[in-house]
Structures are given as structure tokens and as C-alpha cells.
Structure 1
Amino acid sequence: MEKIAFICTHNSCRSQIAEAFGKALASDAFESWSAGTEIKDQINPDAVRIMKERYGIDMIKNGQHNKTLAELPSVDGVVTMGCGVECPFLPCKWRVDWGLDDPTGQADATYLKTMEEIRQKVLDLRQQVLKERK
């Protein structure tokens, strides 16, 4: 099974959302991991709340937590969230940047917009991986 790492500076919002959607919607195509370069103490509470309310995904109950790049297994693909910083080199077969704005500190509507973008991108990535597997 292909392993994909979703990377964001603090591993507290976008990358955690991507990991959660990956586990919920694409576990038949790839394993989802997330990590950051300068992690925060906890996953963004607004992201946790809205994911649970809107999508029924409880990131904390599902065991997600902030992780450094060193905690990742070897991965096949790297997806960066659009952090505006140079992500360190991670050995992988492919890399893509999703260029997503960080909703941290914004209204719930902004979180929902970002979450929907991530959800769709995860579903698209799932289709791509499954197609390449054939």
C-alpha cells in the first residue's frame, strides 16, 4: 500500500485535515500520514471541532496528534499544503503542492471552504492512485 505524507509547517490544521480525510475516504488506496517542520502542541481546536461537527470525523479519538518529519515512515508521495516555506527534502517517488490557504484564526466558513478543497483533493488523489495501481 502506498504511503502518502501530508506536510504543513505546524502540522496542526491543513495537514491534519488531509490525514483525517485520507484515512476516512481513501484507506483503500493509500496510508495517510501528516507531519510538520515546526509542530504546535495540539491540533487546531477549530479544525477538530468542525471536522467532527460537519464530517463526523473525530481526529483526536482516531489517534491523530502533531508529528515531526522524523516520526514519518518512509513514504511514496509527499503533499505539501502551500505553507509558503521550503519544505525539507523527504525521500519519495513524487511530490505535489496543493497551495491551500491556512484557515487558522478565520471564521468557520473559511475552515469549511478549506476542508471541502482538501476533501476533494484527497478523493482525486485516491482515484489517481487506484488508476495507477491497475
Structure 2
Amino acid sequence: MAGNQPPPFKLLFVCVENSNRSQMSQAFATILGGNKVEAYSAGSKPSGVVNPKAILSMKEIGYDLSLHDSKSLEEVKRFAPFDAVVTMGCGDACPWMPAKRTVNWTIPDPKHMEPEEFNKIRDYIRSLVKELLDELETGNDGK
């Protein structure tokens, strides 16, 4: 019964431009988490567009990233508090967001990479998102 379902995990993925890493992370959280997850992404200095390389890379695995928009943190803060906020290389440019857990993933920005290298980053992001979802479901804080 739907009434017995726990609320979905609210996740926010943040990188600088919200055009590559955080967008793919949001997509994988949606793909892998289904109705157990509410996934959002934002940028500390959003570019305003999703990188066409990211769109193509995700299209190769059957996900249409062209439906996503590049957003600022201001645009997603109304969804706070989050169960987890994951930052990716934005350092001090990532302001604090209310969350039960904050995680920093060290992922190179793939925006200037060739497709083969870009796809390696995509696949690495998928593995990190899966690991995060597994930790959230089991109550493990990843430490």
C-alpha cells in the first residue's frame, strides 16, 4: 500500500556549472532510485545550459538529459532540507544547504574531455550514485 511507503530520499547534487557532473548524478539517482528518490541538481555558478556532450553521453544509455535545465542553488533551496547534498569540485563556492548528510565527490570536470573519457566519468558517477543510494537505504552513513 502506498500509505506504508517511506518518504523518498531528497538528494541534491551540486557542481560549478550544473551542466555535466551534477546533471548526470541527478539522472542516475532518478534512474536507479525510482520512486524512492527525489533528485535535484544545481550549480554554484550555473552555465545556463546542459553540456551537449553530457546529453549525448546519457542518450547512449537511454536517458534524455536534454529535458534538464541548468539551475542555481537559489532555484532549488525551496526543496530543502535534503537527506544528502553531494558536492563535486565547487569547494568554497558551494554554500551550505540544509541536509542530514553532506558528501564531497572528487570527480574531474569532463566538459573538455573526448567522448571515451567523458563516458568513463559518466560511468564513475553512476557507481558513486549507486553506492550513495545503497548507503541511504541501509542507513549506513558511508563512514
Could you tell me which residue of structure 2 aligns to residue 71 of structure 1?
75
Q: TM-score, normalised by structure 1?
A: 0.90
Query: Which structure shows the higher helix fraction?
Result: 2
RMSD: 1.5
Gapped regions of structure 2 (runs ≥ 5): 1-7
Could you tell me which residue of structure 2 aligns to residue 58 of structure 1?
64
Contact 2:44–2:93 (8 Å) recurs in 1: no
Which SS does the other structure have where 1:12 is aligned?
Answer: coil
CA distance in 2, matches of 1:86, 1:40: 14
Corresponding residue to 2:46 among 27, 39, 44? 39
Q: TM-score, normalised by structure 2?
A: 0.85
Matched, 1:80 2:80: no
CA distance in 2, matches of 1:51, 1:69: 23
Could you tell me which residue of structure 2 aligns to residue 5 of structure 1?
12
Structure 1 stretch displaced more, 79-88 or 17-26: 79-88
Could you tell me which residue of structure 2 aligns to residue 97 of structure 1?
104
Deviation of 1:118 (Å): 0.5
Matched, 1:126 2:133: yes
- Letter matched to residue 20 of structure 2: C
Which of these two proteins has the greater Rg computed from alpha carbons? 2
Contact 1:29–1:130 (8 Å) recurs in 2: no
Percent identity between matched residues is 36
Contact 1:29–1:126 (8 Å) recurs in 2: no
Aligned length: 130
Contact 1:9–1:38 (8 Å) recurs in 2: yes
